[in-house]
Amino acid sequence: MNVVFVEPNFPPTQRNFVRGLAEVGASVIGIGESHTDALDEQLKSWMTHYHHVPSVVDVGVMTDAVRWIQDKVWVDRLETTIEAHALSVAQVRENCTIPGTSVRTAWLCRDKPSMKEALRAAGVPTAASAAVHTAAEVYDFVNVIGYPIILKPRTGAGALDTTRVDNKAELDAALGRFGGQGVDSIAVEEFVEGHEGFYDTVCVNGYVSLDFVSHYYPNVLEAMRARWISPQFIATNRVDSVSDYNQIRELGYRVNEALGIGTSATHMEWFFGPKGLRFSEIGCRPPGVGAWDLYSVGNDFDLYREWANAIVHDHIAAHPSRRYAAGIVALRPDQDGNITGYSGVEEMQARSGEWVIDAHLPSPGTPTQPVEAGYMANAYVRMRHPDYDVLRGLLDDVGRTIHVYAQ
């Protein structure tokens, strides 16, 4: 099978998808914005050809590139795993008559108001939402729903630029920020109270072949706004043994079906609180921040390879062991600047180092990244343990013990 894979070089986790495809027997043709000389020899060895383009989101440029490749070989699949590339790649698939995620599905997984409108029509419980173009439309929404509300880009990924608004003064300020960015339309949503997590799948021809559930501590919006918090997320190994997860699985199945997910990875956010289980949003792509690395370590298999089996062979060759819960705790510098050092590392290693998967502790002198840049932006520790509750305590201990200093 010949698979064209979009942007194999960046971010660094992209190479794992290329490796997986090559290992299961695909001939991989890369298309990306990096120049060929920026690719290392190992990455090149997994591809039969690499095609440089100025932009992977320019549908015309990408259509020409794929058609050039089609003149040379039959193209069975055109794949992307990056949220921002999904819609343009779907449009190229349609232009070049290549099977895969449709333009409709890609659009519904990118445009949050359209996504939620489609899911409400399918009976999926979700927050009230709307696409708005003017401040007056936002005020009209508030008059019906009330505060608090959430404002976010219509096609954003993650918590970046997502804003909670609790009163009119905060709303005026938030609308000013979006206006300054030249945004024509934004999504406004009812704020849903509750614990937040995510449900990830690999689907084959619409059937969920692999699934995973993770929990955020605290919820993402809070985690990305407060420096003192050492946020974490944990992939549970209790998916098959705790009946409460059946409700999340059922929600995920209904969402995937309603949006027309075929053979693809998905990443779905959910809330559980006073109003019960509520859908938040979904991407027709894998999660970010190394979640698949945690799933692989916790389940004694290579998830990138199994995704590749789904794409190339229409089946999953291995099954998750659920042997370990696995998680990450982000460690924030005490201020922005350059990292000067750490404390508590040796103490933590002595106390629970046997459960550490890996640790990223940038060397002194490394510039810090802002808090809102995410879980892997600065320092972090990843761990696993057979008991979910014990692992959560271990990650809490890391967050309390290790301190990152900057000036």
pLDDT at position 162 over 90: no
Asked whether residue 22 is assigned to any structural domain, the reply reads yes
pLDDT for position 129? 87
The two beta strands, 356-360 and 379-385, are antiparallel
Among residues 79, 82, 80, 86, the alpha carbon closest in space to that of 103 is found at 86
Residues 215 and 350 in one domain: yes
pLDDT at position 113 over 60: yes
pLDDT for position 182? 55
pLDDT digits (tens, 9 = 90+) for 334-366: 999 999 999 999 999 999 999 999 999 999 999
**298 membership: H or E segment, kind and range:** helix 291-299
């949050």: which residue's tokens?
112
Residues 359 and 244 in one domain: yes
Alpha helices in 146-235 (DSSP H): 168-180, 220-223
Last residue within a domain, chosen from 174, 190, 206: 190
Alpha helices in 98-151 (DSSP H): 103-108, 112-121, 135-145
CATH number of the CATH domain containing 181: 3.30.1490.20
Let me know: does 294 contact 326? Beta carbons within 8 Å: yes
Structure token pair of residue 280: 């938040």
Return phi, psi of residue 374, to 5°. 115, -175
Asked whether residue 55 is assigned to any structural domain, the reply reads yes
pLDDT at position 181 over 70: no
Last residue within a domain, chosen from 147, 167, 190: 190
CATH number of the CATH domain containing 60: 3.40.50.20
For 113-131, what is the mean pLDDT?
Answer: 92
pLDDT at position 157 over 70: no
156: amino acid identity, one letter: G
pLDDT digits (tens, 9 = 90+) for 373-401: 999 999 999 999 999 999 999 999 999 99
CATH number of the CATH domain containing 314: 3.30.470.20
Among residues 219, 256, 213, the alpha carbon closest in space to that of 237 is found at 213
Asked whether residue 117 is assigned to any structural domain, the reply reads no
Residues 143 and 242 in one domain: no
The contacts of residue 357 (CB under 8 Å, 6+ apart) are 293, 294, 297, 326, 382, 383, 384
Residues 9 and 50 in one domain: yes
What is the overall mean pLDDT for the chain? 94
pLDDT at position 328 over 80: yes
Asked whether residue 114 is assigned to any structural domain, the reply reads no
Asked whether residue 113 is assigned to any structural domain, the reply reads no
Last residue within a domain, chosen from 145, 171, 190: 190
Residues 133 and 252 in one domain: no
Most confident range, picked from 44-53, 174-183, 190-199: 44-53
For 200-228, what is the mean pLDDT?
Answer: 94
The boundaries of the domain holding residue 157 are 128-190
Q: How confident is the model at residue 192 (pLDDT cuts 50, 70, 90)?
A: confident
Q: How confident is the model at residue 280 (pLDDT cuts 50, 70, 90)?
A: very high
291-299 and 303-313 helices, crossing angle to 10°? 100
pLDDT for position 128? 87
Q: Which residues pair with 403 in a beta bridge?
A: 343
- Structural domain total, the chain: 3
For 210-229, what is the mean pLDDT?
Answer: 93
For 85-103, what is the mean pLDDT?
Answer: 98
Residues 34 and 148 in one domain: no
Asked whether residue 172 is assigned to any structural domain, the reply reads yes
Residues 92 and 69 in one domain: yes
Residues 176 and 255 in one domain: no
pLDDT digits (tens, 9 = 90+) for 67-83: 999 999 999 999 999 99
Q: How confident is the model at residue 184 (pLDDT cuts 50, 70, 90)?
A: confident
Residues 312 and 235 in one domain: yes
Asked whether residue 107 is assigned to any structural domain, the reply reads no
Asked whether residue 275 is assigned to any structural domain, the reply reads yes
Return phi, psi of residue 260, to 5°. 75, 35
For 219-247, what is the mean pLDDT?
Answer: 93
Let me know: does 371 contact 225? Beta carbons within 8 Å: yes
Residues 252 and 313 in one domain: yes
